[in-house]
């Protein structure tokens, strides 16, 4: 169980992170229905968010994650279709999204296959992100919070997620109800440089990443959960 003192230190740190990331402003109305979706990046965090939001009165939450999926291979798992199904059924006021660590791969389009490293690929991927954002924010008061992919241990993967992050940020900037949520300040000791651990409240290293160098462990998931709850709902 987290002590009040330790929790206060944690929340204070997160609040400072929010301000540094330009995310100090909160939605005007507290959401009553929160949807959490994503690929393997979101799986552990989705469970942490579910447990945390369940403790908040008058807020419902639903989660859907799919391992090995993403927006590149809609022929394997059609996230656009699934998103529309979830919106129709749950009508979320806020959706937290985390995709992309495995998305830098060829994509099938109506005009043929587009390959990573080409302008056509970037245009298509940003278009797919935009479709997802538009479906999740189709009504007034429905907001999308799309998480930045964190720093990665492998330099090739780090380069891949840097491109994916740019496409997501570009799409969010074009939409009033979609937000690109920085995470690297929270999940790295130095943003832009991978680290499996951060320095905790007692000055000791705390591991927050999975041994695979890509995903978060449970501690990392709980850390970003507090960040998101503070940002979207205020300190509950």
Structural fold of domain 4-233: Rossmann fold (3.40.50)
C-alpha–C-alpha distance, residues 194 and 188, integer Å: 6
Please give the DSSP secondary-structure letter assigned to residue 93.
S
Confidence at 181, pLDDT banded by 50, 70, 90: very high
Q: How many CB atoms lie within 10 A of CB 121?
A: 21
Provide mean pLDDT across the span 146-159: 96
Number of continuous H segments (helices) and E segments (strands) in the chain: 7, 9
Backbone angles phi, psi at 54, to 5 degrees: -60, -25
The rounded distance, in Å, linking the Cα atoms of 73 and 107 is 6
Instruction: Taking residues 82-98, report their average pLDDT.
Output: 98
Does the pLDDT value for residue 236 go beyond 80? no
pTM of the model: 0.89
Closest CA to 55 of 37, 26, 34: 34
149: pLDDT strictly greater than 90: yes
User: Residue 202 — very low, low, confident or very high, per pLDDT cuts 50/70/90?
Assistant: confident
User: Does the structure show a pLDDT above 50 at 3?
Assistant: no
């Amino acid at each position: 169980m987290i002590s009040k003192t330790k929790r206060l230190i944690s929340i204070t740190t997160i609040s400072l992170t929010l301000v540094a990331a330009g995310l100090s402003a909160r939605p005007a109305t507290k959401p009553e229905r929160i949807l959490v979706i994503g690929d393997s990046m979101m799986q552990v965090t989705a469970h942490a968010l579910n447990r945390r939001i369940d403790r908040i009165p008058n807020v419902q939450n639903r989660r859907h994650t799919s391992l090995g999926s993403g927006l590149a291979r809609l022929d394997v798992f059609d996230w656009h279709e699934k998103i529309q199904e979830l919106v129709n059924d749950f009508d979320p006021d806020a959706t937290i999204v985390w995709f992309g660590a495995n998305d830098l791969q060829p994509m099938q389009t109506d005009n043929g296959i587009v390959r990573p490293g080409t302008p056509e690929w970037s245009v298509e991927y940003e278009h797919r992100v935009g479709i997802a954002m538009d479906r999740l924010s189709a009504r007034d008061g429905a907001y999308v919070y799309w998480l930045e992919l964190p720093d990665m241990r492998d330099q090739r993967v780090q380069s891949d997620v840097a491109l994916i992050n740019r496409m997501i940020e570009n799409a969010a900037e074009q939409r009033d109800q979609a937000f690109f949520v920085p995470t690297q300040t929270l999940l790295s000791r130095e943003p832009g440089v991978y680290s499996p651990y951060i320095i905790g409240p007692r000055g000791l290293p705390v591991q927050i990443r999975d041994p695979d160098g890509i995903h978060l462990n449970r501690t990392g998931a709980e850390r970003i959960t507090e960040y998101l709850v503070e940002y979207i709902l205020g300190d509950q």
